[in-house]
A and B are shown apart, each in its own frame.
Chain A
Amino acid sequence: MSMQRRDFLKLLGLSTLVGGTGGGAVFNVLKPGELEASTAKFKSTSGRTWAMVVDVRKFTPDQYGKCIKACHREHNVPDFGNPKDEIKWTWTDDFEHTFPGQGHEFMDEALESLPFLLMCNHCEKPACVRVCPTQATFKRASDGIVVMDPHRCIGCRFCMAACPFGARSFNWRDPRKGGFPMVGDKPVIPNPEYPTRTKGVVEKCTFCPERLVLGKEPACVEATEGSGALVFGNLEDPHSEVREVLGTHYTIQRKPELGTNPRVFYVIGG
């Protein structure tokens, strides 16, 4: 006899209506489809869910800087020259701090000192989106990118407390006052095509929707072009390059135990 899980839960729910335990299951009886909605994997409306593979074996030492520079230039990420006001969308850290708790004292020293490119993980179940009180940060239904609406953000920074990856930055002050080189009394905005932010809002890596819409790859990916160090593509397409790499290599994610399901993967070695 086969019994669908949903039917089983329905039965359980009905029995709890009588028996009085397991109130959570009652919910499923009362609201059809609730169960599917809560357990379903994210499915984009366009058939594309963007993901990134960082292949650290293929990174050359100068490429990290190039990626970060390309990203920060593209998005007018300000540089105040001090750690207190720091804003960063992409950055690097070593193994110990990228994958806390996953290293050990006898680890390959080369790996230990290797830099890892870090950015927003565009999680499948992003904690930042869950906590935002205004939906200023949200997961795009069309392609799973976790984006920010800086015009709606009230600057409560709940998302920064919630993000387990330190991917978010806050504009502690006006980026146009001290965040860019000045010519006379005017700041030189690196990319006039892209907006600057105002003080008091949160920002982070966006996987470059402004480039994707033009059919281009994200700025950091373009900066490593030809090397294969960064592979960007559609997770829902079994024949995409990202899926190809994920299917044939041992890849790891940052803090998988937290259940946010990062969409940035790392190829470490082998």
Chain B
Amino acid sequence: MLDKAISGSRTYWAWLGFLGLISAAGFVAYLFQFNYGLGLTGMSRDVTWGFYIAQFTFLVGVAASAVMLVIPYYLHDYKKFGKVVILGEFLAVSAVSMCILFIFVDLGQPMRVMNVVLHPTPNSVMFWDMIVLSGYLALNIVIGWHTLHAEKKGVAPSPWVKPLIYLSIPWAVSIHTVTAFLYAGIPGRHLWLTAIMAARFLASAFAAGPALLIILCLIVRNVSKFDPGKEPIQTLGKIVTYAMTANVFFFLLEVFTAFYSGIPGHQHSLEYLFFGLDGYSRLVPWMWTAAALAIVSLVLLIMPGLKKNEDILAIACGTVFVSTWIDKGMGLVVGGFIPNPMERVTEYTPTFPEVLITIGIWAIGFLILTVLYKVAISVREELAGN
């Protein structure tokens, strides 16, 4: 089937070339970082994780969201998702690939990354994160590829795939739970030390992932002969609505506990993010943008009938995506480091090479996504043509 990826229109190749150029630029920037060290980024002793880990955290959610298609299709026999479930699985493959790359570029000694395997340490959440992420990547490649191949041949998928599909459901939940545990299990960082973290992660994931998938479905319909169909997109819209509502609700729970309890430590990070702390307020405009976009998205999604219009749905999904990207990326990761354990404020801004490397990895992700989608769409077009 891979041959489908190397025969395409001029636009297809131009798009791949464009993504290739951007990832090459990111790679060159990475060589500079590899040579100089992570000092090339905006990170410091006080803010030790930044833009890379923010993308990583957000994208684990996007990857996990494939389960929002798998559950209705395979567990509830919701046939309408039959056409889009492969798009969800391939999106997961692309998202996990980006996650792994973002971890890699964040390492101070990337050549030693295999130490995690050579010295397995079950008490470290990062060890488990490595296991669940690589397992999830493998599951989605195998499941996605095999089911598509069976579809191409016009036969039912082999019986051994079913258990893997069922396994992928709790596995998807696990990747985001374990990622939340990276934060929620460490003492002394008030913004992160909260039992609702994993639930909040899952809610924002199931909002952002399907939102991106809706946008991708609309793009696919425009650039190919394959139409995912109106109804699956509307059903995804409902999923986004519920998940985004839960996400905003969970966030407000955090606000309530912090401010009603009046415990200063619990308030500091939120104060920094939304109002500024000790005169430092670099993230304030970003957080209010995220808040405003969240409100807009909820209005568009909840107001009866509005999201039936696919243009409005697309806008709503865009606002969900950007809002959760800011909130869960920079807001959560950087916000957790401010103030520092001595209650002093050191701010953080990504540097130009850091942003370039980040965009480069996103380009690689979209490259993987484009190639996989191209294969899936070509198979579908071929089947429709016969």
How far is A159 from B102 in the complex, measured between Cα atoms in Å? 18
Are A100 and B343 closer than 8 Å at their CB atoms?
A: yes
Residues of B within 8 A of A152 (CB): 112, 115, 119
By secondary structure, the A interface counts as loop
Q: Is the CB of A155 within 8 A of B343?
A: no
| Given A131-B126, A133-B124: A164 and B38 interface contact (C-beta under 8 Å) | no
Partner of A134, one of B42, B44, B116: B116
Contact of B187 among A135, A164, A174 (CB under 8 A): A164
Distance in Å: Cβ of B225 to nearest Cβ of chain A: 45
Complex-state Cα separation, A162 to B337, whole angstroms: 10
B21 close to chain A: CB less than 8 A: no
Judging by beta carbons under 8 Å apart, are B124 and A153 in contact? Answer: no
- With A127-B188, A171-B108, A200-B108 already in contact, the answer to whether A161 and B49 are too (CB < 8 A) is yes
Query: Cα distance A114–B325 when bound, in Å?
Result: 43
A85 touches B (CB below 8 Å)? yes
Judged by a CB distance under 8 angstroms, whether A6 is at the interface is no
Tell me the complex Cα distance, A108–B118, Å: 53
Report the minimum CB–CB distance from B188 to chain A (whole Å).
3
Indicate if the CB atoms of B49 and A157 lie closer than 8 Å. Answer: yes
A158:B126 contact, CB within 8 angstroms: yes
Does chain B have a CB within 8 A of A96?
A: yes
Interface assignment of B4: CB less than 8 Å from any CB of chain A: no
Residues of B within 8 A of A158 (CB): 124, 126, 182
Cβ of A165 under 8 Å from chain B? yes
* Interface check A255, CB cutoff 8 A: yes
- Does A11 count as interface, using CB distance less than 8 angstroms? no
Chain B CB within 8 A of A170 CB:
yes
- The yes or no answer to A190 lying at the interface (CB within 8 A) is no
Q: Tell me if A259 counts as interface (CB < 8 A to partner B).
A: yes
Q: How many chain B residues have a CB neighbour from A under 8 Å?
A: 47
Question: Contact string, B101-138, partner A, CB cutoff 8 A, digits 1/0?
Answer: 00100111110110110110101111100100000000
Chain A hits for B45, CB < 8 A: 83-84, 86-88, 160, 166, 169-170
The answer, yes or no, to whether A29 is at the interface (CB within 8 Å) is: no
On whether the beta carbons of B115 and A154 are closer than 8 Å, the reply is yes
Interface residues of B in 306-358 (CB under 8 A from A): 336-337, 340-344, 346
Q: List the B side residues contacting A258 at CB < 8 Å.
A: 187-188
B39 touches A84 (CB 8 A): yes
Q: Does B170 contact A (CB under 8 A)?
A: no
Known: A155-B109, A156-B126. A134 touches B265 (CB 8 A): no
* Docked pose: A248 CA to B126 CA in angstroms: 43
A211 contacts partner chain B, Cβ-Cβ < 8 Å: no
Verify if A199 is at the interface (C-beta below 8 Å from B): yes
Identify the closest chain A residue to B114 (Cβ).
A154
Residues on the A chain within 8 Å of B186, using CB = 127, 131, 161-162
List residues of chain A with CB within 8 A of the CB of B344.
Answer: 97
Q: Which of A98, A133, A173, A202 contacts B39 (CB 8 A)?
A: A173
Contact A131 B124 (CB under 8 A): yes
Please name all residues of chain A whose beta carbon is closer than 8 Å to the beta carbon of B343 when the two chains form the complex.
96-97, 100
Nearest CB in chain B to that of A200: its residue: B108
Docked pose: A202 CA to B116 CA in angstroms: 16
When the two chains form the complex, which single residue of A166, A169, A171 contacts B37, counting CB atoms closer than 8 Å?
A171
Which of A86, A96, A198 is in CB contact (< 8 Å) with B44?
A86
CB distance from A169 to the nearest CB of B (A): 6
| In the complex, A163 has a CB within 8 A of chain B | yes
Are the CB atoms of A166 and B342 closer together than 8 Å? yes
A57 at interface by CB-CB < 8 Å: no
Contacts of B185 in A (CB 8 A): 131
- In whole Å, how far is B85's beta carbon from the nearest beta carbon of chain A? 33
* A157-B48 contact in complex given A134-B115, A166-B341, C-beta closer than 8 Å: yes
CB proximity to B under 8 Å, residues A243-265: 255, 258-260
Cβ of B38: which chain A residues have Cβ within 8 Å of it?
155, 170, 172-173, 199-200
Contact residues of B between 168 and 190, Cβ < 8 Å to A: 182-183, 185-189
CB-based nearest B residue for A96: B343
Q: List 26 A-B contacts (CB under 8 A).
A: A83-B346, A97-B344, A130-B124, A131-B126, A133-B115, A133-B126, A133-B127, A134-B118, A152-B112, A153-B108, A155-B109, A156-B103, A156-B108, A160-B45, A161-B186, A163-B341, A164-B187, A165-B341, A166-B342, A171-B37, A171-B108, A172-B44, A174-B36, A200-B107, A255-B341, A259-B187
B interface residues, Cβ below 8 angstroms from A? 36-39, 42-46, 48-49, 103, 106-110, 112-113, 115-116, 118-119, 121, 123-127, 130, 182-183, 185-189, 264-265, 336-337, 340-344, 346
11 additional A-B pairs beyond A83-B346, A130-B124, A134-B119, beta carbons within 8 Å, are A84-B39, A87-B45, A100-B342, A133-B130, A152-B112, A154-B107, A157-B106, A158-B124, A164-B341, A173-B39, A255-B341
Closest CB pairs A-B (n = 5)? A155-B108, A164-B188, A200-B108, A172-B39, A173-B39
